[in-house]
Amino acid sequence: MAGRTNLRTIPGFRALTLLCLFVLYAPLIVVTVYSFNASASITNWEGLSLRWYWDVFTGPDSGKFKTAAANSFLIAVSAATISTTIATLAATGMIRTGRFRARTLSFGLISLPLMVPEIVTAVATLIFFNAIALERGLLSILIAHVVFCIPFAYLPISARMQGIGPAYEEAALDLYATKRQTFTRILLPLMAPGIVSGYLLAFIVSLDDFIITNFVKGAGVETLPTAIFGAVKRGIQPNIMAISTLLLGLSILLVTLSWLVSRSDTTK
């Protein structure tokens, strides 16, 4: 293409790219590497060891972390399950009931939370919970998580749904299936990759959330991110690096899984 300039010939392009990659990934690499440090110092390298991983599970803070992790997983599983169910039904309704006037509006409403600054949502949710006098604790966290997980679950599901087309459902109806059988025997299996992918995304988003959780959690109720934040406020210990690395690993695993699942396409 004659008209298109090659990006690589722009002066400073390579340097800028490297800088961006450095800023993005250097901290993660440092944390990961130092989580295997044998030293109690967070800056001096004294050799390879799993000491801090051991400390996470057995050290003085381990009880706190275990409760927080249990809370986090409980909330993430519940929030992902509920939000994925809602998102699946919403996608079915939005894409299969033909064109209706509020379709664009509905889609906007569903995706809006992705664009609203999280702190705004956090404050608004807190005010709302206060207004309806909802006691703060696991339930309030769960409700807040379900709400912000829905768009994350919705996007891969609706993308998948759009690719399916109405022909399979018509074929099922033609072969005497009821609407319900068509949904469970044809539509759901075809949507499965999108649903799994949406579920994993919702799960990871819930597991990682800090800001909203921190606002709506009650005193004494901690999730993993808020527990880590609490510990860091008292000074960064190497065990924080270990726990962060564990979370990072889990996130990478789930996101990769989600990507792989959404790519596998049974219709091809």
Partner 1 sequence: MQTVMSETSSQNAIDVQNAVKRFGDFTALKQICLAIADNEFFTLLGPSGCGKTTLLRIIAGFDEVTEGSVRLYGEDLGALPPNRRPVNTVFQSYALFPHMSVLHNVSFGLEMLGKSPAEARERAGRMLELVQLSQFADRRPGQLSGGQQQRVALARALAPQPKLLLLDEPLSALDLKLRKAMRIELKHLQRETGITFVFVTHDQEEALTMSDRIAVMSEGELQQVGASREIYERPCNRFVANFIGDTNLLEVTVDRIEGARAACHLGGGHALICEAVEGVRDGARVHLSVRPERLFATAEPTGPEALAARVVENVFTGTDITSIVELAQGPRLTLRSSNSERGNRRIFEQGATCFVNMEAGAGRLLVD
For position 174 contacting partner 1 by CB under 8 A, the verdict is: yes
For position 167 contacting partner 1 by CB under 8 A, the verdict is: yes
* Residue 24 Cβ vs partner 1, minimum distance, rounded to whole Å: 39
For position 180 contacting partner 1 by CB under 8 A, the verdict is: no
How far apart CA 182 and CA 164 sit, in angstroms, is 13
24 φ, ψ (degrees, to nearest 5) = -70, -45
* Residue 261 Cβ vs partner 1, minimum distance, rounded to whole Å: 14
Q: Return the range that interacts with partner 1 (CB under 8 A); candidates 71-79, 177-185, 206-214, 246-254.
A: 177-185
Per CB under 8 A, contacts with partner 1 among 109-148 are: none
For position 157 contacting partner 1 by CB under 8 A, the verdict is: no
Pick one of 77, 139, 177, 257: the residue that binds partner 1 (CB under 8 A). Answer: 177
Q: Return the range that interacts with partner 1 (CB under 8 A); candidates 42-50, 70-78, 89-97, 173-181.
A: 173-181
How far apart CA 31 and CA 37 sit, in angstroms, is 10
Per CB under 8 A, contacts with partner 1 among 189-248 are: 189-190
How far apart CA 187 and CA 234 sit, in angstroms, is 52
* Residue 194 Cβ vs partner 1, minimum distance, rounded to whole Å: 13
- The residue ranges that bind partner 1 (CB under 8 A) are 167-168, 170-178, 181, 185-186, 189-190, 266-268
